[in-house]
Amino acid sequence: MDRMLVVVFDNESKAYEGKKALLQLDGEGSISVYAYAVLAKHADGTATVKQGDDSGPIGTLLGTSFGSLIGLLGGPVGLAIGATAGVAAGGAADLYNAGIGEDFIDDVTKVLTANKVAMVAEIEEDWTTPVDTRMEAIGGRVFRRALADVEHTIHEENVAAMKADLAQMKAEHAKAHADRKAKLEEKVNQLDSKIQAQLQKAKERREATERQAQAKVRVLKEKAAVAKAKAS
């Protein structure tokens, strides 16, 4: 099962130790790691992605559910990307893109307080014991959430509701007097613009999801090839 994983540590050293353990589990075949980052929370409410040339198999965070999660954990003050990160995230991140519930973000942010450091990852795991055992031994507090497709249903319902409002406004516009027509026309145009923006957002999300799925397939194929080579 594909999951988002957040493990909160007391300091950066422990978080890097957690990342190392996660990659060891990947190497052992216990899990598959698609992307990972170390996120440090500062006293002023900002967060920094502590990430060098090891941005994970998926690479860039922008436009992915993983990138959206990083942005959300950065908090309302904003996300400060470290000088060595080489990635962009946070600006357009939201729950829709992340594909996880608001309760998950709340649970993590209550623990990811000032001067705490989190190891964030997108993984595939069949059971939780390997990750939990390694992370708890290092002193990490583990949060995980399965990636869901519920955001697509929410989006469709939202667009359908706006289209219903648009149809009603257009019907009123057709019957309205001249002085009312101008105001209704403005509202119609505004709502139509919002619908088009939602449709464009859905298109971009689908394209990002497809790219992410293709990247995951490549990761799994590469791991299978390495395993085959070792066995031969």
pLDDT digits (tens, 9 = 90+) for 153-164: 555 666 777 777
Distance CA 113, CA 111 (A): 6
pTM over 0.85: no
Of 4-13, 49-58, 72-81, 201-210, highest mean pLDDT: 4-13
pLDDT of residue 77: 41
| Residues 92-138 pLDDT 10s | 335 555 666 677 888 898 999 999 999 999 888 888 889 999 999 99
Stronger pLDDT, 92 or 177, i.e. the higher one: 177
pLDDT of residue 133: 92
- Burial-class residue 142 by CB neighbours within 10 Å (0-12, 13-18, 19+): middle
Distance CA 98, CA 175 (A): 43
Mean pLDDT of all residues in 133-151: 82
| Residue 89 predicted with pLDDT over 60 | no
Mean pLDDT of the chain: 76
Helix then strand count (H, E) for the chain reads: 7, 6
Long-range Cβ pairs for the range 84-90 (8 Å, 24+): 84/51, 84/52, 84/53, 85/49, 85/50, 85/51, 85/52, 85/55, 86/51, 86/53, 86/55, 87/37, 87/49, 87/51, 87/55, 87/60, 87/61, 87/62, 88/60, 88/61, 88/62, 89/49, 89/61, 89/62
pLDDT of residue 12: 93
Q: What percent of the chain has pLDDT over 70?
A: 78
Lowest mean pLDDT among 33-47, 125-139, 191-205: 191-205
